[in-house]
């Protein structure tokens, strides 16, 4: 039996019985809410795999000149070993336009001369070069398109939701119209119009993807703003006499943007996939530009005898698959962490 003591109102005594939760340095720097998000993102094996995949692609994009030293003036041009039509298998010796030997080459392959590591495609384009430099193209198009569509979507969705009424009606009907237009057909038409004006480049396909890619974002942010608008703190801000624009940008949008951000992170994979599809159809970059869809499109004529030429489809195909998978896994993890309804379930 312990002796009774008079209450001292000294909470420090409690610490002996109930030690404080340890707060690590990372948590202190990030703040509790951000720390929870980061921790959640790095918790499941799937999201870690996603981050690893994306990390690898980022490294490839950054170190492309070291992995595959550029040949000629334009590094984005895939080097050609001659002009023959038939693809050559992996390990074929490289005869013309041979690039410099990078430092890792001998250690990894054990050879002194460049060979076509992943074979060549129709026209003797080196597939390895197409994949390495194509990573940069993928990131570039992915980010440009996602950022542009995100901005357009958020602006249109916010205006629509905030003003409501007839403005909302008109803007949302425009969204509906854009959604009914068949995307591939319009992209082909746009490319057909734009290519004679500005030549073959990334621009026509990028523009087509931007023009037909923003509707999803505007719908999602509109829905979220409509619900945030009803919350008490918005009324409280109005009672405090805060200006309309400030209420929209400081109080409403920061509370409504997360689902749209998740959608955008998922969107990068989709955009790269659609871009590859357009490239495969022949819209997009000039022939020989390092781009995964372009490399895949070289396989078009040989698709009937893939038993012999499997490497022209498999390597760019796998690359594309891993890239899209990485973004999707990360996007899923983000949704799980940021969606308050999923909180505490995993």
Q: Name the minimum Å distance from CB 217 to other proteins.
A: 20
Q: 181 in helix, strand or coil?
A: coil
Cα–Cα dist 117/60, whole Å: 16
Q: Name the minimum Å distance from CB 32 to other proteins.
A: 8
Q: Which stretch, 7-15, 142-150, 185-193, 231-239, contacts other proteins (CB under 8 A)?
A: 231-239
Cα–Cα dist 173/157, whole Å: 12
> Is there a contact between 83 and 124 (Cβ–Cβ < 8 Å)?
yes
Cα–Cα dist 292/315, whole Å: 10
Q: Name the minimum Å distance from CB 150 to other proteins.
A: 19
Closer CB to other proteins, residue 97 or residue 255? Answer: 255
Q: Is residue 72 within the footprint of other proteins (CB under 8 A)?
A: no
Cα–Cα dist 110/103, whole Å: 12
Cα–Cα dist 40/59, whole Å: 24
- Burial label, 183 (beta-carbon count in 10 A; 0-12, 13-18, 19+): middle
Site for other proteins in 163-192 (CB under 8 A): 165
Q: Name the minimum Å distance from CB 253 to other proteins.
A: 10
* Contact flags string 234-273 toward other proteins, x per CB under 8 A: -xxxxxxxxx------xx--xx------------------
Q: Name the minimum Å distance from CB 242 to other proteins.
A: 6
Q: Is residue 219 within the footprint of other proteins (CB under 8 A)?
A: no
Closer CB to other proteins, residue 58 or residue 235? Answer: 235
> Is there a contact between 160 and 172 (Cβ–Cβ < 8 Å)?
yes
Q: Name the minimum Å distance from CB 51 to other proteins.
A: 25
Closer CB to other proteins, residue 64 or residue 161? Answer: 161
Q: Is residue 232 within the footprint of other proteins (CB under 8 A)?
A: yes
* Contact flags string 26-45 toward other proteins, x per CB under 8 A: ------xx------------
Closer CB to other proteins, residue 176 or residue 244? Answer: 244
Q: Alpha carbon of 307 to those of 120, 186, 297: distances in Å?
A: 15, 35, 17
Determine the distance from the C-alpha atom of residue 155 to the mean position of all C-alpha atoms in its chain, rounded to a whole number. Answer: 21
Q: Total residues at the site for other proteins (CB under 8 A)?
A: 19
Cα–Cα dist 333/261, whole Å: 12
> Is there a contact between 323 and 306 (Cβ–Cβ < 8 Å)?
no
Q: Name the minimum Å distance from CB 303 to other proteins.
A: 51
Closer CB to other proteins, residue 159 or residue 237? Answer: 237
> Is there a contact between 295 and 127 (Cβ–Cβ < 8 Å)?
yes
Binding residues for other proteins (CB under 8 A): 32-33, 165, 231-233, 235-243, 250-251, 254-255
């Amino acid at each position: 039996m312990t002796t009774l003591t008079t209450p001292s109102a000294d909470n420090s005594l409690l610490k002996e019985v109930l030690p404080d939760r340890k707060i690590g340095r990372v948590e202190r720097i990030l703040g509790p809410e951000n720390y929870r998000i980061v921790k959640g993102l790095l918790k499941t094996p799937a999201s870690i795999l996603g981050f690893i995949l994306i990390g690898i692609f980022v490294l490839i994009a950054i170190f492309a000149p070291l992995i595959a030293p550029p040949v000629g003036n334009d590094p984005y041009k895939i080097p050609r070993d001659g002009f023959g039509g038939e693809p050559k298998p992996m390990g074929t010796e490289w005869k013309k336009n041979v690039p410099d030997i990078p430092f890792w080459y001998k250690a990894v392959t054990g050879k002194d001369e460049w060979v076509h590591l992943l074979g060549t495609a129709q026209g003797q384009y080196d597939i390895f070069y197409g994949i390495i430099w194509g990573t940069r193209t993928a990131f570039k198009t992915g980010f440009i398109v996602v950022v542009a569509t995100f901005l357009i979507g958020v602006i249109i969705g916010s205006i629509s939701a905030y003003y409501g009424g007839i403005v909302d009606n008109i803007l949302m009907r425009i969204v509906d119209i854009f959604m009914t237009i068949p995307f591939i057909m319009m992209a082909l038409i746009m490319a057909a119009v734009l290519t004679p004006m500005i030549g073959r480049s990334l621009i026509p396909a990028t523009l087509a993807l931007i023009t037909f890619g923003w509707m999803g974002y505007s719908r999602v942010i509109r829905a979220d703003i409509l619900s945030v608008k009803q919350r008490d703190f918005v009324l409280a801000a109005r009672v405090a006499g805060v200006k309309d624009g400030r209420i929209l940008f400081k109080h409403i949008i920061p509370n409504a943007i997360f689902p749209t951000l998740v959608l955008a992170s998922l969107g990068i994979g989709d955009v790269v996939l659609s871009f590859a599809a357009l490239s495969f159809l022949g819209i997009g970059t000039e022939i020989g530009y390092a781009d995964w869809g372009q490399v895949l499109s070289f396989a078009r004529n040989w698709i009937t005898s893939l038993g012999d030429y499997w490497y022209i489809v498999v390597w760019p195909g796998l690359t594309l698959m891993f890239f899209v998978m990485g973004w999707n896994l990360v996007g899923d993890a983000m949704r799980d962490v940021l969606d308050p309804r999923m909180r505490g379930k995993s």
